[in-house]
C-alpha cells in the first residue's frame, strides 16, 4: 500500500522509518518530509502540512490509501475529516477530537466532568480579573493560553506575582493571537513528569510503553521550556500498577467522555502526567505522538507499526499485537545554538554515519535541510540521537557516545538526559 505521512520533524522521521519496515508498505510519501526520511527511502513531496486540499489532492492523484498525520496543527484544522471525506483511511482524530489538545478549556471541562485527576483551574478572558485572581493566591500557578501555541503557551510561576508578565503578554500584547483569547490559571503541581501514550480506535485502548521527556533547555531542568530536549523509555517510576491506575482513572474515562460528547476519538492520545504525592494527574492531553518521545518509542517498537496504525484507522484495534524490545532507549536532542530563541541556520552537519556505525543507534532528523549537496541545520531542534542498551545506563552512554561523533557549528545538547532514571536504576 502507498502511505502519505504528513509532517517533517523528528517524530515523523521515526514514524517513517518504522512504517517503511512494514511488508505492507509499498511506498511512503512524506509531506514535506526531511532529508533523513529521504535517506531511508521515503519520497518527500513539497506540500505544506497546512495545505489540507493540496494533501488530499496529492493522495488521490497518487493512489495513496492511508494518510498518517504527525503534527497537531493540521489535525486541529480538520485534515483528518477531509481525508475521510475523500474516502481514504486516516490515522489521527477529527477536528473535534483534536480539541482535546487545541482547546485547553475544553479539555479541562471534559476532565472535570468525568473526574479525571488534573490540576484545579480557573478560566479568564480579561486581564484585570486574571491579575486580581493570581494576586489573591498564595501558592504557585501555571498560566496557559487555551489554544495551540507550539509548546510555548505555558508558564509555570512558583510565586503568583510572576504570573502577571505572562498574563500581560498573552492577554494584552496578544503574543499568541487568538490562541490566547482564553487563559487558564492552574494550581502548580509538583512531582516527576511522565508521558503515557495510547492507540485508540474510540473503543479499544492500547497503552504504549511509558516515556519521560525533558522540556527545559538546560541541564537540571533549568532555563526556558522547549519542544523537548530528549526522552527515554521505559520509565522506572511508571510501573505496572501505576499504568493500571492511569488506564482506569485517566485513559478509559476520557475516551468515554469524548465518545459521549462527539463520537469516536481515534488515533493516538498523549497524556502528559505529573506524579504528585496524591497520584498521577493530567497536565495536558495531546492528539498526536510526542516529539521527541516518539523517537525512543519507535526504537523499542518491534511489531509492524503500519499494521497497528491501520487497525486503529479501521476500528479493529482489538486485533493489534504490539511487541516491545525490552531494552531501554534514550534519545538526546542536538539543537542549534540559541534555541529556543533565535538561531543561525545553514551550517554543515557531519558524523551521522559514524554515530550510527556504533550499532543500536539511529539518528533521526528534525531540523535539517540539503544545501549545495550538503546536510545543514535548518531548525532549532536538529537531530534526535537515539540508542538502545541493555540497561538505561548503557543506552544513555551509547547515545552520548554517538553525540560526540556529530558536529556542526553551534551544536549543543543537554548532558543529563535520563539521569534521573539512571540514578534510580543504580540504587
Which position among 40, 193, 401, 419 is part of the footprint of ligand AMP (CB under 6 A)? Answer: 193
Which position among 209, 291, 304, 360 is part of the footprint of ligand GLY (CB under 6 A)? Answer: 291
* Window 196-215: contact mask with ligand GLY (x via CB under 6 A): -----------------x--
- Quick check: 186 binds ligand GLY (CB under 6 A)? no
Segment contacting ligand GLY (CB under 6 A): 162-170, 250-258, 284-292, 340-348? 284-292
- Quick check: 188 binds ligand AMP (CB under 6 A)? yes
Which grid cell is 7? 509532517
- Exposure b/e, 287-298, CB count within 10 A at least 16 = b: bbbbbbbbbbbb
Closest by Cα among 39, 40, 35, 28 to 2: 28
Structural contact between residues 212 and 235, judged by C-beta atoms closer than 8 angstroms: yes
Which position among 69, 254, 268, 283 is part of the footprint of ligand AMP (CB under 6 A)? Answer: 283
- Quick check: 151 binds ligand AMP (CB under 6 A)? yes
CA distance 12 to 71: 8
3-state secondary structure of 147: coil
Total site size for ligand GLY, rule CB under 6 A: 8
Closest by Cα among 276, 288, 220, 212 to 249: 276
283 binds, among ligand GLY, ligand AMP, none (CB under 5 to 8 A by kind): ligand AMP
Closest by Cα among 225, 23, 246 to 118: 246
Which position among 147, 228, 267, 328 is part of the footprint of ligand GLY (CB under 6 A)? Answer: 228
Min dist CB 405 to ligand GLY, Å, is 25
Q: Quote the radius of gyration of the chain (alpha carbons, Å).
A: 21
Alpha-carbon distances, residue 311 vs 205, 307, 397 (angstroms): 12, 6, 36
Q: Which residues pair with 122 in a beta bridge?
A: 185
Segment contacting ligand GLY (CB under 6 A): 79-87, 286-294, 390-398, 407-415? 286-294
Q: Which of residues 207-266 bind ligand AMP (CB under 6 A)?
A: 215, 225
What values do phi and psi take at 347, rounded to 5? -85, 140
- Quick check: 101 binds ligand GLY (CB under 6 A)? no
Alpha-carbon distances, residue 358 vs 300, 318, 340 (angstroms): 17, 38, 30
Min dist CB 90 to ligand GLY, Å, is 20
Which position among 33, 290, 379, 380 is part of the footprint of ligand GLY (CB under 6 A)? Answer: 290
Min dist CB 62 to ligand GLY, Å, is 29
Structural contact between residues 142 and 281, judged by C-beta atoms closer than 8 angstroms: no
Min dist CB 135 to ligand GLY, Å, is 30
Q: Which residues bind ligand AMP (CB under 6 A)?
A: 119, 142, 151, 154, 156, 186, 188-189, 193, 215, 225, 272, 283-284
Q: Give the footprint of ligand GLY on this chain (CB under 6 A).
A: 151, 213, 227-228, 286, 290-291, 293
Amino acid at each position: 500500500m502507498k502511505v502519505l505521512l504528513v509532517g517533517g520533524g523528528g517524530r515523523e522521521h521515526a514514524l517513517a522509518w518504522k512504517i517503511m519496515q512494514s511488508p505492507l508498505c509499498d511506498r511512503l510519501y512524506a509531506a514535506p518530509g526531511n532529508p533523513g526520511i529521504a535517506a531511508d527511502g521515503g519520497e518527500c513531496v513539497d506540500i505544506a502540512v497546512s495545505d489540507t486540499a493540496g494533501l488530499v489532492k496529492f493522495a488521490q492523484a497518487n493512489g495513496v490509501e492511508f494518510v498518517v498525520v504527525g503534527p497537531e496543527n493540521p489535525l486541529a484544522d480538520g485534515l483528518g475529516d477531509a481525508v475521510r471525506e475523500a474516502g481514504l483511511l486516516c490515522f489521527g482524530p477529527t477536528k473535534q477530537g483534536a480539541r482535546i489538545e487545541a482547546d485547553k478549556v475544553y479539555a479541562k471541562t471534559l476532565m472535570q466532568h468525568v473526574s479525571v485527576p488534573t490540576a484545579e483551574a480557573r478560566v479568564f478572558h480579561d486581564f484585570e480579573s486574571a491579575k486580581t485572581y493570581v494576586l489573591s493566591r498564595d501558592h504557585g500557578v501555571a498560566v496557559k493560553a487555551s489554544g495551540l501555541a507550539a509548546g510555548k503557551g505555558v508558564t509555570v510561576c512558583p510565586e503568583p506575582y510572576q504570573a502577571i508578565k505572562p498574563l500581560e503578554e498573552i492577554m494584552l500584547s496578544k503574543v499568541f493571537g487568538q490562541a490566547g483569547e482564553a487563559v487558564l490559571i492552574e494550581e502548580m503541581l509538583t512531582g516527576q513528569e511522565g508521558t503515557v501514550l495510547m492507540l485508540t480506535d474510540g473503543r479499544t485502548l492500547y497503552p504504549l510503553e511509558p516515556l519521560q521527556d525533558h522540556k527545559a533547555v538546560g541541564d537540571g531542568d533549568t532555563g526556558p521550556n522547549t519542544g523537548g530536549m530528549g526522552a527515554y523509555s521505559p520509565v522506572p517510576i511508571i510501573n505496572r500498577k501505576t499504568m493500571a491506575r492511569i488506564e482506569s482513572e485517566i485513559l478509559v474515562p476520557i475516551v468515554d467522555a469524548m465518545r459521549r460528547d462527539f463520537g469516536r476519538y481515534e488515533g493516538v492520545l498523549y497524556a502528559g502526567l505529573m506524579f504528585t504525592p496524591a497520584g498521577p494527574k493530567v497536565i495536558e492531553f495531546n492528539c498526536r505522538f510526542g516529539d521527541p518521545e516518539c523517537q525512543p518509542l519507535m526504537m523499542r517498537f518491534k511489531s509492524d507499526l503500519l499494521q497497528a496504525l491501520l487497525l486503529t484507522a479501521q476500528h479493529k484495534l482489538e486485533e493489534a499485537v504490539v511487541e516491545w524490545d525490552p531494552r531501554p532507549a534514550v534519545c538526546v536532542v542536538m539543537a542549534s545554538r540559541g534555541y529556543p530563541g533565535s538561531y543561525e541556520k545553514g551550517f554543515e552537519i557531519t558524523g551521522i554515519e559514524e554515530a550510527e556505525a556504533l550499532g543500536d543507534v539511529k539518528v533521526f532528523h528534525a531540523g535539517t535541510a540539503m544545501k549545495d549537496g550538503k546536510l545543514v541545520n535548518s531548525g532549532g531542534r536538529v537531530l534526535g540521537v537515539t540508542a538502545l542498551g541493555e540497561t538505561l545506563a548503557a543506552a544513555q552512554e551509547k547515545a552520548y557516545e554517538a553525540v560526540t561523533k556529530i558536529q556542526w557549528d553551534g551544536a549543543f545538547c543537554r548532558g543529563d538526559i535520563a539521569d534521573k532514571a539512571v540514578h534510580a536504576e543504580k540504587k
